Amino acid sequence: MAQDNSSRVTEFILLGLSDTRELQLLFFTLFLLAYAVVLLGNLLIIVTVRTDPKLSSPMYFLLCNLSFIDICYTSVTVPKVLVALLSGHKAIAFEGCMAQLFFLHFVGSSEMFLLTVMAFDRYTAICRPLHYTAIMARGACWALVTACWVGGFIHSIVQTVLTLQLPFCGPNTIHSYFCDVPPVILLACTDTTLTEWLMASNSGLISLGCFLVLVGSYVLILAKVRACLSQGHWKALSTCASHVMVVTLLFMPCIFTYLPPAGTLPTNKYICVIYTTFSPMMNPLIYTLRNSEVKESIWRLWKRCR
């Protein structure tokens, strides 16, 4: 049924993580520290990779792009959360909510595709080392990264359009700390069953599909390493272990959140913290503390800047 424009919701209320002031201050501190780690850690990786010629391999080119995506990803939600926790202002305009939803899925799905490309890079380096330079040439890397962004944009446009065509005329309280598809479409003044299944088949299957591709690549890598236990292969496997940690932190909560249609499972806003804040925070820690080449390059950068 068509809704009167005068009854259309103009803003949403984000309930956040807690109504208790003491917990709000605690969450503010934790989110602020996490955001600082994301910004400083990923900026350090970007500057280090861009300034050190020794980090010119495709793996570090992709890592640099991952750091940029992580900065964008956390910046979609965390600044708004910090303002809400500090000021108590929980309202967000309808247009702002839709924009947050769009950029969240745009950058988030681009990161999923990029992590899949990084797994392909590791598979090629370990399982097809003689062809690695030709397959992962700089032009091919740029093409793969561009495809990740284009795929993320198409995915996000579909999600946003499906949400915008719904009428919102009644409840405007979102049981989360940011605007996302599952909690928002539950507020629509119409039957959203078909929309929920379309969105689940979009976001959920993308998350599950990328995760299965990643798992498959790791299985092939493990099989190759067992057959050839050289030092170089073990070094590459160590890189894959770090990659597995990032993938698990990002994909498992996303699959749990987006694969079931909205309303079939309760949305756990604390699980959302894992893939919106904790996972991007872990990336710079994992890729610097477990990578001797990056640590050495950071040390050389520090000595040049002194």
**What pLDDT does 240 receive?**
64
Q: Pick the most confident of 58-67, 141-150, 179-188.
A: 141-150
CB count in 10 Å sphere of residue 112: 25
Beta strands in the chain (DSSP E): 11-14, 91-93, 173-174
DSSP element (H, E) containing 219: helix 205-227
In this prediction, residue 1 has a pLDDT band, given cuts at 50, 70 and 90, of very low
Q: Provide the token pair at 166.
A: 């719904």
Sheet strands side by side (includes 91-93): 91-93, 11-14, 173-174
Distance CA 75, CA 94 (A): 19
Our measurement of the distance from residue 36's CA atom to the centroid of its chain's CA atoms, rounded to an integer in Å, reads 17
Q: Are 56 and 48 spatial neighbours (Cβ–Cβ below 8 Å)?
A: no
**What pLDDT does 192 receive?**
82
Using the predicted structure, report yes or no on whether residue 207 has a pLDDT greater than 90.
Answer: no
Using the predicted structure, report yes or no on whether residue 295 has a pLDDT greater than 80.
Answer: no
Summarize the confidence of residues 192-211 as an average pLDDT: 84
Summarize the confidence of residues 291-306 as an average pLDDT: 76
Distance CA 115, CA 289 (A): 19
- The CA distances from residue 254 to 108, 148, 180, 183, 279, in Å, are 10, 18, 12, 14, 11
Q: Provide the token pair at 69.
A: 């995506």
Using the predicted structure, report yes or no on whether residue 5 has a pLDDT greater than 70.
Answer: no
Q: Indicate yes or no: pTM above 0.85.
A: yes
What's the helix, strand, coil split of the chain in %, to 5?
80, 5, 20
Structural domains in the chain, CATH included, are 11-300 (1.20.1070.10)
Distance CA 294, CA 306 (A): 18
259-275 pLDDT, tens per residue?
Answer: 876 655 555 778 888 88
Summarize the confidence of residues 269-283 as an average pLDDT: 84
Summarize the confidence of residues 51-64 as an average pLDDT: 87
